[in-house]
């Protein structure tokens, strides 16, 4: 087979030649890539010379480039442009890759050499980055079973293989349930309350499916506005229940057993490695350090947020009863009532904002903001291959030199999972610049207007772009310490801090322009946007904290006692919720962050990083939001350094002190 995945990419900037890659190329290429990588490992283990940093650690770091490239392509496509065939290929590849990882991590000869270097290398002769790499490699082997007895190593292999497949299965089930539901509306009166742009989008969705009337789906650009604006309460209930049933129905996609298996296997794996819980295993390599510290962190924020949330809920109930004839709020009412209350108290209608946020102008303004801060420029390159017509590619330049490739993929479609994320097709190291991608699910353009973003979509774009900056501005020697390869509760700092510019008048003037008139957003609207940032912060904070508590509970010392996912969820978060439970719904069975993504025992990190970003942004506020010296310091100590040093060391180098937890409470208006 003439397989492009087994060659160097002879393309601009060695970008992926998507149009020449076929699904049947992946498995043969992955098998061959694994064989090549194992031969590279063998050259290390069979080396007759004494183990040194250069001939062991540094050589190991450079192994497996081909397998890394090919698996990135497979799993990125499986998230953004999947099909039944691609999902089957990912399921086939997963055990091969798990076995490959275990073949490395459980290779006794290799570990003996690493241990020799770890114990005998003169650390003073190594750079700070080399010392970090040595520490990381040694710990990675120990934490993945290098010191286990042979029988336990085999058990670890079995667990890892099963976990990798269960994770894929979980995601496939959620995607299938998401895409199997649609709400077809045939009567125009059932559209009451919905903005014209959303109605037009639903009409186009119906036409694309060859259906009459209007079609709404569980994709966020369709689901969220429906739940926010539709006045037909019974239809809101129908949509809400469909969303809440994902992974929890009496069908082949039910994720109950999948969740229980994942939880039990993670607990077993941790015990095998000598840890009380999966959380203990994970948090050893986090800023938070321990389960107890995370629990205390969540409790402290709950103590501050819950009284505010209770007042906000009472205000919602009173408003709903007096103005909307709703005397008992259900979960399908909350977004609707919240929006009506915001309109009444702040005189702010999100739909009035949308014309000022056409995607193209927002993106162009975002490019200008990061140019002002970090001196990087973006030029679209239409000749670089893409995996879907919606995808665009930009060359990123700094000091008139090529610095990175940025792929953007903004609209929902069949085969693309919900949500928004940043990913990488090629990492950065001393020999190569990175290729990064941001993937979102924004409202599509229609025949009469461009893609107009809600303000929440604007902040989502800035958030993912912050992750992308972490990748694009990386400047390290080794890929495994580059960009977003940092402690998980530090990785959200670059993304969350960039969201702050969405609220700054100097920044909004660069991108918030009416799509018809090019008029800059009025200053009165900017004031309302800033006020809206404080709106129902108690309720919003409590919602995030409930996810953090739930995540921790699935991975703590008692996780193995969970017998019923739904009952467990209720016991964990009922005291933080104000609406009645819906028996046919379960959030956990679609909690992709922790059962498909990498946030297991780490969901708290969103709030943890908010503390960092609130404190860090105060530095910009003190010196000016476009102050180049502050930006240069943030780039030097945070964005470019990746995981080359402990995150608190990097943070203190930027800020001159440890973060002040009250900065988050001040920004949220909770103190």
How far apart CA 521 and CA 468 sit, in angstroms, is 27
- Cα–Cα distances (Å) from 230 to 174, 184, 200, 530, in that order, read 25, 14, 14, 26
Instruction: Residue count of the chain, please give it.
Output: 671
DSSP H or E run through 237:
helix 233-244
Q: Which residues pair with 376 in a beta bridge?
A: 398
* In contact, 620 and 667? CB cutoff 8 Å: no
Structure tokens at 413: 């479609």
In terms of Cβ atoms closer than 10 Å to its own Cβ (0-12, 13-18, 19+), residue 110 is buried
How far apart CA 374 and CA 355 sit, in angstroms, is 29
Summarize the chain as % helix, strand, coil (round to 5).
Answer: 60, 5, 35
Cβ of 582: how many Cβ atoms within 10 Å?
A: 15
How far apart CA 87 and CA 168 sit, in angstroms, is 8
How far apart CA 257 and CA 170 sit, in angstroms, is 10
DSSP result, 391-421: -EEEEEEETTEEEEEEEEE-S--TT--SS-E
Q: Identify the sign of the CA torsion 190, 195, 200, 201.
A: negative
How far apart CA 540 and CA 546 sit, in angstroms, is 10
Structure tokens at 577: 């919720």
Q: Which residues pair with 393 in a beta bridge?
A: 407
Structure tokens at 472: 């694009």
137 is catalytic: no
- Cα–Cα distances (Å) from 436 to 15, 153, 403, 439, 467, in that order, read 11, 35, 11, 10, 9
Q: What does the radius of gyration of the chain's CA atoms come to, in whole angstroms?
A: 25
SS3 (DSSP) at 238: helix
Q: Which of 81, 121, 205, 464 is labelled catalytic?
A: 464
* In contact, 102 and 164? CB cutoff 8 Å: no
Number of H helices, E strands in the chain: 27, 7
Characterize 234-269 residue by residue with b for buried, 16 or more Cβ atoms within 10 angstroms of its Cβ, and e for exposed.
Answer: ebbebbbebbbbbbbbeeebbbeebbbbbbebbbbb
Instruction: Report the Cα–Cα distance between both ends of the chain, in Å, rounded.
Output: 65
* In contact, 308 and 537? CB cutoff 8 Å: yes
- Tell me which residues are annotated as active site: 464
């Amino acid at each position: 087979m003439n397989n492009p995945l087994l060659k160097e990419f002879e393309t601009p900037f060695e970008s992926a030649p998507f149009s020449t890659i076929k699904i049947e190329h992946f498995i043969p290429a992955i098998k061959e890539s694994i064989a090549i990588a194992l031969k590279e490992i063998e050259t290390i283990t069979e080396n007759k010379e004494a183990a040194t940093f250069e001939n062991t650690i540094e050589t190991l770091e450079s192994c497996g480039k081909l397998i890394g490239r090919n698996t990135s392509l497979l799993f990125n496509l499986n998230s953004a442009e999947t099909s039944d065939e691609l999902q089957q290929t990912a399921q086939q590849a997963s055990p091969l890759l798990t076995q490959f990882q275990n073949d490395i991590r459980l290779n006794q000869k290799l570990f003996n050499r690493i241990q020799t270097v770890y114990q005998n290398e003169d650390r003073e002769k190594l750079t700070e980055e080399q010392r970090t790499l040595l520490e990381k490699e040694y710990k990675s082997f120990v934490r993945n079973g290098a010191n286990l007895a042979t029988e336990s190593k085999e058990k670890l292999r079995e667990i890892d293989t099963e976990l990798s497949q269960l994770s894929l299965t979980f995601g496939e089930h959620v995607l299938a349930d998401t895409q199997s539901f649609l709400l077809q509306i045939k009567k125009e009166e059932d559209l009451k309350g919905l903005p014209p742009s959303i109605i037009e989008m639903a009409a186009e969705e119906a036409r694309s499916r060859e259906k009459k009337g209007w079609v709404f789906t569980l994709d966020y650009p369709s689901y969220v506005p429906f739940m926010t604006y539709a006045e037909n309460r019974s239809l809101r209930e129908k949509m809400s229940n469909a969303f809440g049933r994902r992974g929890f129905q009496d069908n082949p996609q039910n994720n109950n057993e999948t969740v229980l298996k994942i939880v039990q296997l993670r607990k077993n794996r941790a015990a095998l490695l000598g840890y009380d819980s999966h959380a203990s295993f994970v948090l050893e390599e986090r800023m938070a350090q321990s389960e107890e510290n995370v629990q205390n962190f969540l409790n402290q924020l709950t103590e501050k947020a819950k009284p505010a949330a209770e007042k906000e809920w009472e205000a919602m109930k009173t408003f709903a009863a007096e103005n909307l004839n709703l005397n008992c709020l259900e979960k399908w009412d909350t977004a609707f009532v919240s929006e009506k209350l915001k309109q009444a108290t702040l005189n702010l209608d999100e739909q009035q904002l949308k014309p000022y946020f056409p995607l193209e102008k927002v993106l162009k303004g975002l490019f200008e903001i990061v140019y002002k801060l970090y001196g990087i420029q973006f030029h679209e390159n239409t000749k670089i291959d893409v995996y879907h017509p919606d995808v665009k590619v930009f060359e990123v330049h700094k000091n008139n030199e090529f610095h990175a490739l940025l792929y953007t993929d903004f609209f929902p479609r069949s085969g693309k999972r919900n949500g928004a994320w940043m990913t990488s097709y090629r990492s950065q190291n001393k020999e190569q610049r990175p290729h990064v991608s941001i993937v979102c699910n924004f409202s599509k353009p229609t025949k009469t207007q461009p893609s107009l973003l809600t303000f929440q979509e604007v902040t989502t774009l800035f958030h993912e772009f912050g992750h992308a900056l972490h990748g694009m501005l990386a400047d390290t020697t080794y890929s495994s310490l580059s960009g977003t390869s940092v402690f998980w509760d530090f990785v959200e700092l670059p993304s969350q801090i960039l969201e702050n510019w969405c609220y700054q008048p100097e920044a909004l003037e660069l991108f918030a322009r009416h799509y018809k008139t090019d008029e800059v957003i009025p200053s009165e609207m900017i004031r309302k946007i800033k006020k809206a940032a404080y709106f129902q912060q108690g309720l919003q904070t409590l919602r995030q904290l409930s996810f953090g508590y739930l995540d921790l509970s699935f991975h703590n010392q008692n996780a193995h006692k969970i017998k019923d996912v739904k009952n467990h969820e209720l016991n964990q978060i009922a005291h933080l919720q104000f609406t009645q439970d819906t028996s046919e719904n379960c959030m956990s069975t679609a909690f992709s962050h922790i059962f498909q993504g990498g946030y297991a025992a780490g969901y708290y990190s969103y709030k943890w990083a908010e503390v960092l970003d609130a404190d860090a942004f105060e530095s910009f506020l003190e010196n000016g939001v476009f102050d180049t010296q502050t930006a240069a310091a943030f780039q030097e100590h945070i964005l470019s350094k990746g995981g080359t040093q402990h995150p608190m060391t990097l943070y203190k180098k930027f800020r001159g002190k440890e973060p002040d937890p009250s900065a988050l409470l001040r920004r949220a208006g909770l103190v």
